[in-house]
Structure 1
Amino acid sequence: MISAIQVLGGLAFFLFGIHMLSGGMEKLAGDQIQQWLDRVTSRPLRAAFFGAGATALVQSSGLLMVTMIGLINANLMTLTQAIGVMMGQEIGTTLTAQIAAFHLGDYALIFVAIGFAMKEFAPHGRWRDYGEVVLGFGTLFVGMNLMSGALKSVTEVPAVGIWLTTAGQHQFISIIAGMVVTAMVQSSSAVTGLVVALGMSNAITLPGAVALLLGANIGSCITGLMASFRLSAGARQASVAQILINVTGVLLFAPFIQPFAQLVAMTSNALPRQIANAHTIFNIVVSVVLFPFIGVLARVTQRLVPERVSAKKKATTAYIDPRQYSIPSVALTEAFRELLNMGRAAGEMLELSRQALVENNPTVIPRVLERENELLDPVSVQLEDFLSKLLRTELSEQQQQRALQIKGLVTDIERVGDQNENLVEEAQRKMEEQIPFSPEAVTELEQLFRHAEKTYGAALEALETGDHARAEQACRLEDEFDHMYMEARNAHIHRVEAGVCAPEADFTFIEVLRNLERICDHSENLAQSVLEN
């Protein structure tokens, strides 16, 4: 009983160590990994190498998978690119087993002490993150030491001995066991560590260990599958593609476990290292064999999980997902995509407002009001709530500033929507009350609208691309609009005094000018946010 508790405690230490190691590496490299994903995944081979390196670096295939699902959901990555990364990711995961196979238990507490000192007493935040990595590394080996020591006693229990013998003889049962246990704990690293610990205790045969690892490969897909629920079809396709890759690999190897184990036994005299090597060789072979069929896998997956066209589009967010809070870099990317989606809608509303006021087109008014009430208003509320909750999580200083910046920009774009609502309400009143505008007034409004659209368009493009030249142009256009606004206002007053414009047009014309001027002010805010970064 005590030995069983020690095994569970050792497993907990091992998992906690992996979690700390992964968490520290995510803080050190999380933002860069997302940037690299965007840059290097255009070619499948490059994507595969990146997947292997990134997974080995952060020691979490689940982290990389959830990151990819978030990027696919935000339309920043295609399914084919993601499958290329997955091929490499499967290889990168094997580093956990290779690390665990080292007999470093006697030195584990040294790593724990050094890591703790760095994490608690380092003056700089980045050194604390390095300390978390070292502490996680040491804790991982403390867990391995506890497990391997306790398993020697546990395996002397007759029932356990019989089960392990059965596992070695009936590989299908072991594959199912590895799959179920991995799915339950949502960590293939946990099962891998446990299998290596069994090897350290000579409590399992190599064929039995290989079978458990094959099952763990299938069970590891559960993290990505759960992360993709209720997301876009592309995100669900990515998780299904991972299942196809792993199941295909297991089906290829399952009939040949015994000869494969005999081959792997030649790579080392130590059983733990043989187990780690089996895990590595399996994943390399599967990735190499399936790599030429990335396109086929993508097409099969797209048929299994087709895009669904909704008959009625709900007023909801298109990109953000609360399950991405654990990966702030992805959550911020999704929030920014949502912001741009709002921004484009507000830009379309501005053109429709021009048609309503300048061209006296009443048919566009409901479209503006619909976008405001069913898109901008509800999405801005949801996005601000998403960012507020994200700010309550553990963010780096840079991530915190980015979240606050996006939160402020949400307000600017939502206000642009409000101003467009005001404009079409003025247009509706103008048409209902048949308020006449002079030809000069109509010409000025056309020019002002076009200039406002140009200003807002430049600001939104600068925001999307980070182009400082475009942002500076938007600021110059806003200054020009201020002059145009004053000239149009003074010209309107002169026309009213001269009797050229009807007195009842006075209020409407001035209100239109004010709302356009405010739209340009918010456009300048968007541009300034780019220049300040």
Structure 2
Amino acid sequence: MGQNIGTCVTAMISSVGANKNAKRAAMVHLSFNVIGTAVWLTFFCLVKAIWSPALLNEGASLFGIAVAHSVFNVLCTILMLPLSGFLERLVNRLVPDAKQPEIQSELDERLLATPPIALERCHEVAADMAQTAVSALKISVSCLQGDVPELAVSVREKEEKTDYYEDILGTYLVKLSEKQISASDSAEAAKLLKIIGDFERISDHAVNLLESAEEMREKGLEFTEAAASELNVITSAVKEILDLSLAAFLSDDLEAASMVEPLEQVIDQLKEQMRTRHILRMQQGACSIEAGFIWSDLLTSLERTSDHCSNIAGCVIDMAHHSMNLHESLRSVRNDSEDFQRNFRTYAEKYHFGA
């Protein structure tokens, strides 16, 4: 009986630093053997007190130990099978759900012993983080067009999840950088640290957009038809730049990365034109000053989102050219006059305001 409990030590040690489900599996193993031992040891002592057969006074043989071990486990299985629900509730209480959202590709501290594998796992988690942040921003844009209460919960949950991603990834990457890793892996880890910061800020801007939409709803404010039309144009451009930067990061797509900077410049121009147009509307009395403050906040969040997309694309270009000079990479994209200007004109024609 003691040997059965002792076999749980290996599982318990292996679960240290593992995810929640691994810890629960080890706890099921331990609970099964401890409960089984307690029940059958009590039964054994009672039987021995009432009737003590000569067999119990004989020395243990190898065959006898094997038989006793097998019989014990069969009896434990028969005992615990009807109590599987109780065992599940017990383990869930002993290993409760974490306060933070469960992450499928949880980072495992033991992988730090093999840096290339640990870095690959970081990529998987960062990819999930990127998709979550982009999704949050797109949902918040939908909030500007209505359905605020229905979508607000989703945006905030995704922002909290993205914050958690940045926290565990940042900590893990710092630990990884302290290991003996190659120069290329070190540069890749540095790139990831930069990029996860940008994706986290994108999710923050998603909440900022949501709060602006909520403020509009609470105060009963509405933009003019012209302002709403302009907002649709710039939000469409922001959605596209999000898709481009996400594709560039997930697939190391240099073509997508090179398209980000021209579109970011177009978004900057759209923002300035929208500020000017809105000032004219306020001067004409078509829009209130209070709505003007919210308008300014919206434009700032959208423009800064495009800036973070530009940073992400710049990091992808950096790594392709084995450089870590982000500003130099962005400058080289702009200075590539033929491609840049052609892409800039394409986006300027695609995203513009009517007369």
Q: 1:348 matched to which residue of 2?
A: 135
Provide the residue aligned with 2:276 in structure 1. 490
CA contact (8 A) 2:17 2:109 kept: no
Pick from 151, 158, 180 the counterpart of residue 371 of structure 1. 158
Contact 2:159 2:203 in 1 (8 A): yes
Q: Which amino acid letter does the alignment assign opposite residue 386 of structure 1?
A: Y
TM-score by structure 2 length? Answer: 0.62
Q: CA deviation at 1:338?
A: 1.0
Partner residue in 1 for 2:258: 472
Structure 1 match to 2:110: 323
1:143-165 CA-partner distances (Å, limit 9, x unpaired): xxxxxxxxxxxxxxxxxxxxxxx
SS at match of 2:144: helix
Indicate if the aligned counterparts of 1:438 and 1:500 stay in contact, CA closer than 8 A.
yes
- Write out per-residue CA displacement over residues 126-154 of structure 1, whole angstroms, 9 at most, x where no aligned residue: xxxxxxxxxxxxxxxxxxxxxxxxxxxxx
Aligned to 2:289: 503
Q: Quick one: which of 338, 358, 363 aligns to 2:125? A: 338
AA at the equivalent of 2:303: E
Superposed, 1:69-468 pairs within 5 Å as: 230=19, 315-319=101-105, 320-359=107-146, 361-373=148-160, 375-468=161-254
Does the residue aligned with 1:324 lie in a helix, a strand or coil?
helix
Amino acid at match of 2:132: A
Note if 1:526 corresponds to 2:315.
no
Structure 2: 5+ residue stretches without partners = 1-8, 26-95, 320-355
Cα distance in 2 between the residues matched to 1:232 and 1:484: 49
How many matched pairs?
235
Whichever residue aligns with residue 280 of structure 2, its letter is H
User: In 2, Cα distance between the equivalents of 1:232 and 1:481?
Assistant: 45
The whole-number CA distance in structure 2 between the counterparts of 1:316 and 1:389 is: 21
Q: Distance in 1 between matches of 2:233 and 2:304?
A: 16
Report the alpha carbon displacement of residue 312 of structure 1 after superposing the two structures with TM.
7.6
Once the two structures are superposed, residues 82-138 of structure 1 have per-residue CA deviations (whole angstroms, 9 ceiling, x without a partner) of xxxxxxxxxxxxxxxxxxxxxxxxxxxxxxxxxxxxxxxxxxxxxxxxxxxxxxxxx
Q: Distance in 1 between matches of 2:318 and 2:273?
A: 31
CA-CA distance at 1:318 after TM superposition? 3.1
Q: CA deviation at 1:228?
A: 10
Which residue type is aligned with residue 423 of structure 1? L
Distance 1:461 1:340 in 2: 10
TM-score (norm 1): 0.42
Deviating 4+ runs (over 6 angstroms):
225-228
Between the aligned partners of 1:232 and 1:463, the Cα distance in structure 2 is: 30
In structure 2, relative to structure 1, the CA distance for the partners of 1:226 and 1:354 (3 Å cut) is: closer
C-alpha separation in 2, matches of 1:226 and 1:354: 42
Structure 2 Cα separation of the partners of residues 334 and 474 of structure 1: 27
Q: Post-superposition shift, 1:528?
A: 0.8
Conservation of the 8 A alpha-carbon contact between 1:474 and 1:527: yes
Which position in structure 2 is the counterpart of 1:260? none
Q: Is the 8 A contact 2:137 2:206 kept in 1?
A: yes
Q: What residue identity is the alignment partner of 1:432?
A: E
SS at match of 1:418: helix
Give distance in 2, aligned partners of 1:226 and 1:504. 56
What's the C-alpha RMSD, in Å, of the aligned pairs? Answer: 2.5
Q: Helix, strand or coil for the counterpart of 2:287?
A: coil
C-alpha contact (below 8 Å) 1:358/1:445 kept by paired residues = no
CA contact (8 A) 1:471 1:528 kept: yes
Structure 2 counterpart SS, 1:377: helix
Change (3 A) 1:344 1:385: same
Residues 2-81 of structure 1: matches in 2 within 5 Å? none
User: 8 Å contact 1:360–1:431 — kept in the other structure?
Assistant: no
Contact 1:468–1:530 at 8 Å: present in 2 too? Answer: yes
Distance in 2 of aligned mates of 1:474 and 1:401: 22
Distance 2:207 2:164 in 1: 15
Aligned equivalent of 1:514: 300
For the Cα contact (< 8 Å) 1:354–1:446, is it kept in 2? no
Higher relative contact order (CA 8 A, sep 6+): 2
Amino acid of the residue matched to residue 318 of structure 1? Q
Q: Is the 8 A contact 1:317 1:382 kept in 2?
A: no
Deviation (angstroms), 1:316: 3.9
Superposition deviation, residue 357 in structure 1: 1.1
Change (3 A) 1:312 1:356: farther
3-state SS in 2 of match to 1:325:
helix
Does the CA contact (< 8 Å) of 1:335 and 1:383 recur in 2? yes
Inter-partner Cα distance in structure 2 for 1:391 and 1:527: 23
